[in-house]
Amino acid sequence: MKINILGGGPAGLYAAYRIRTQLPHSTVTVFEQNEADTTFGFGVVFSDKALEFLSADDSETLALITAGLEKWSDIELRIHGEKIRIDGIGFTAIARLRLLGILRQRALSVGANLVNGRVVQSLEELEGADLIIGCDGANSLVRKTHEAEFGTEIRLLDNRFAWFGATRAFDALTQTFKTTPKGTFNAHHYRYAPSMSTFLVEADPQTFDSVGFASMSEEQSRAYCEDVFAEELDGAHLVTNKSLWRRFPVISNRNWSVGNKVLVGDALRTAHFSIGSGTRLALEDVQALSHALVQHPNSARDALAEFEAKRRPIVDKLAGAAARSAEWYDHFHEHMALPAWDFAMSYISRSGRIDSARLRAMSPAFVDGYEAYKAKVSS
């Protein structure tokens, strides 16, 4: 089987590795527009259990990734001058370039063909393959070429966000919510290396317009955000890497495949950055797709049908939680009217996946603090 993969991010590289490993007689080529040593963004975050799906049949890749992970067990909310810890919610993170390097070497080790610095303008350039896998992200050429057949729906959230890095580490996944004379901001910041962190800044539409970010250069935006979050940075600096302001696209597709073309990862559906599951979902997609190809090595279309049938119910459940989290964040400036502890409870409950019993078992110190606050307020 000849397989062409568009996109050399985590999903594309891992797809090449898994398929070549499980179908060693296949020919697999990955086409990536960037060079091998460049990437967009800074760190990749996972929940502490997110990579367990690799343990059963790819423990070696799991070991390589986990050896480079930063780990922590709390979320810290900074709101109204208070710092509230939510215990027992573990996360890990790794530098995106490091993750790509691991997956690139895995793909090369099994004989995948990796073509970097190649901008594919038309899917006609990839024809002649039995299967074309779209791992090309939210702006997927594979999806756009057959948008009507895929049944694509795209909705842009109202808030604007920009990805920065920070030249310091934070000891927890931290969410800082701030009110300034120009409006309200939120920063998602977490370390992905001993001395570096991702620092994503989010602003509601009114704040975005009030500040005038639309007319600022990348450097001007960086300097402005560095000033807003000077207390949190504590002498460190923000750094840029295509740190442009965007609106998050909520993408879904009625059909996952069209003919011999299939979508995975962000090309298929996006999961809001607030739940830290985008890369995990993409890797899980790849695992499920490779399993389906093993079951149907002579029929790509049968494999794609099985892939969607088995994977869709799982993805739909997670996508629902991501959508609820995204909606909460798109109105974070309204939630900030709540007192700090009520805000924290609203935050941790936003996806609808954690009931009171589970929260008590998972985060006893936080629940104790919240109950003490409620008792004080009602007395």
Q: Reply yes or no on whether the pLDDT at 52 is more than 80.
A: yes
Position 57 pLDDT exceeds 90:
no
* CA distances in angstroms from 347 to 186, 238, 310, 327, 369, listed in the order given: 13, 26, 31, 11, 15
Query: Tens of pLDDT along 240-276?
Result: 999 999 999 999 999 999 999 999 999 999 999 888 7
Q: What digits encode the pLDDT tens for the residues 283-311?
A: 999 999 999 999 999 899 999 999 999 99
Mean pLDDT rounded to a whole number for the chain? 94
- DSSP symbols for 192-223: EETTEEEEEEEE-HHHHHHHTGGGS-HHHHHH
Residue 31, pLDDT > 90, answer yes
Highest mean pLDDT among 45-54, 321-330, 332-341: 332-341
- 248 CB-near residues (< 8 Å, 6+ apart): 156, 157, 159, 161, 270, 272, 273, 326
Best CA proximity match to 178, nearest among 246, 244, 230, 235:
230
Cα gap 311→304, rounded to integer Å: 10
| List of domains in the chain | 2-39+97-156+251-329 (3.50.50.60)
Averaged pLDDT for residues 129-141: 97
Q: What integer is the mean pLDDT of 326-348? A: 96
Q: How far apart are CA 228 and CA 108, in angstroms?
A: 44
290 contacts 15 by C-beta, under 8 angstroms: yes
pLDDT at res. 324: 92
pLDDT at residue 233 in the model: 97
The model carries a pTM of 0.94
Sheet order of strands, 2-6 included: 113-116, 27-32, 2-6, 131-134, 261-263, 257-258
Report the pLDDT averaged over residues 133-150: 97
3-state helix, strand, coil in the chain (%, to 5): 45, 30, 30
pLDDT at 239: 97
Cβ-count burial 71-108 (b if 16+ within 10 Å, e if not): ebebbbbbbeeeebbbbbbbbbbbbbbbbbbbbbebbe
In terms of DSSP H, where are the helices of 271-355?
Answer: 278-295, 300-329, 332-335, 340-348
Q: Which helix (H) or strand (E) holds 150?
A: helix 147-150
158-183 pLDDT per residue, tens: 999 999 999 999 988 999 999 999 99
Decide the pairing of beta strands 70-79 and 261-263.
Answer: unpaired
Residue 47 pLDDT > 90: no
For residue 146, name the pLDDT band (cuts at 50, 70, 90): very high
